[in-house]
Amino acid sequence: MKVIPNRVLGAFKTWDDRKKEMEPMLKSGTGDDRILDKLQLDHLRKAGHRMKQTARPDEQPFMVLLNNHIGKLEKQLYPNVLLRLFLRLKDRFVDGPAYLKQHREQRTANMESLKEQLKASGLGSMAGRLENHLDADQKSVSLPMNCQLEKDKRLHFDLHFEKDQFGNFQMTRLDGSLIQNNTVIKSHEFKLNDWPNLKANQIWSLLEGRAMKQQYIDVSGHESHRWVELGTKGVQHYDPKHPFDVKTALAAMPSITRNKDELIRYLENGQQISTHWKQNGQFQSIFVQADPANKNIKLFDAKQKPVTAEQLIQKAALKKPEVPVQKIRKGIKNGQHI
């Protein structure tokens, strides 16, 4: 059973992490304890505003601790009772509502951006419940997702989200596992910085052992493309200086039917596509996929078993042409059956 994190304790831990980040500055004498206390007070006040209306029953006792700690910091920073009362009222009726409004607007924009990213990645079914899972008081969240492929075969995804320096969630990693008969056949962790615009069906293709044409940023900072696949030793990239051109490979196999632009798009996406092999006016059902290792197009028969062009040609030559069946019409004309 998944343990739901306590957000109040999380707020304290977040502050401890932030304090550790500032330790070098404090040791150098750039900061002092009063500044540190003010930053802590601001951090805990904001956490209190966020959770005031949404604290769960298990978090309520910790909210009391949070408020007590805020009170101690206020007394320490502002010994003057009138000044302290004034700042409390200002925080409650001015600063707090202004912060919550800004926080809601930022979160709404963040969620909408992530939903668009999920839809573009082919994971749109997760988008509708995203707000329920990405709690504003967590630094990182992992969401599981299953996609059934066949009766005994499925894809499992783990979507990893982390907060950036602006407090927005970003999808940083997409883990994929291909599972058959409850056994993991192949899995890989895709860091999205290295896999821009990665799609769910591309992950499926890679886990099935097919190659795809990947968009990436080269050392000069320019967008480029290269063929890539998942081998036994992990990710295998093909040298962009010796590219595999799908269009040229298809032109060398004119017997493959289907719209060529459509075929190129699917094959570069790493998919195995159904089409036909046309030979001497006869059509054979086949499947095709890109093969950058050998710089050609892999062929499969109607049962998705590997086949060569020569075998398809021989099969077409042996196949007898179909003789059209003459249709016999029955009716009555002038009292006679015809």
61-114 confidence digits (pLDDT tens): 999 999 999 999 999 999 999 999 999 999 999 999 999 999 999 999 999 999
Query: Using alpha carbons only, what angle is made at residue 154 by residues 149 and 160, rounded to the nearest 5 degrees?
Result: 120
User: How much is the pLDDT for 323?
Assistant: 44
Quick check: is 89 in a domain?
yes
Distances (CA, A) of 194 to 161, 172, 218, 243: 16, 10, 11, 20
Strand partners, 217: 223
Quick check: is 179 in a domain?
no
25-29, 188-192, 195-199: segment of lowest average pLDDT: 25-29
Which one of 59, 82, 111 terminates a domain?
Answer: 111
| Segment 111-151, tens digit of pLDDT | 999 999 999 999 998 888 899 899 888 889 999 999 999 99
| 42 compared with 5, residue with greater pLDDT | 42
User: How much is the pLDDT for 81?
Assistant: 96
Quick check: is 279 in a domain?
yes
Which one of 93, 111, 129 terminates a domain?
Answer: 111
- Work out the pLDDT band at 33, boundaries 50, 70, 90: confident
Range 47-72 average pLDDT = 94
Alpha helical stretches, state H, the chain: 7-27, 33-51, 60-77, 81-90, 96-120, 130-133, 200-207, 246-251, 260-268, 309-318
Quick check: is 282 in a domain?
yes
User: How much is the pLDDT for 331?
Assistant: 41
For the whole prediction, is pTM greater than 0.85?
A: no
Range 250-275 average pLDDT = 95
Quick check: is 51 in a domain?
yes
User: How much is the pLDDT for 280?
Assistant: 85
**Sign of the CA dihedral running 104, 109, 115, 117:** negative
Quick check: is 204 in a domain?
no
Range 2-8 average pLDDT = 84
169-173, 261-265, 315-319: segment of lowest average pLDDT: 315-319
Quote the domain boundaries for residue 223. 219-338
User: How much is the pLDDT for 327?
Assistant: 44
User: How much is the pLDDT for 222?
Assistant: 83
Query: Using alpha carbons only, what angle is made at residue 91 by residues 86 and 96, rounded to the nearest 5 degrees?
Result: 165
Strand partners, 287: 274, 300
User: How much is the pLDDT for 31?
Assistant: 65
Residue 175: pLDDT over 90: yes
Which one of 111, 146, 181 terminates a domain?
Answer: 111
Percent of the chain predicted with pLDDT > 70: 93
Residue 335: pLDDT over 50: no
Domain count, the chain: 2
33-47, 192-206, 314-328: segment of lowest average pLDDT: 314-328
Quick check: is 209 in a domain?
no
- Work out the pLDDT band at 330, boundaries 50, 70, 90: very low
User: How much is the pLDDT for 38?
Assistant: 95
Residue 333: pLDDT over 50: no
Distances (CA, A) of 149 to 166, 236, 243, 290: 38, 25, 32, 21
Quick check: is 88 in a domain?
yes
State the chain's mean pLDDT as an integer: 90
| Segment 208-253, tens digit of pLDDT | 999 999 988 888 888 889 999 998 888 999 988 888 999 999 999 9
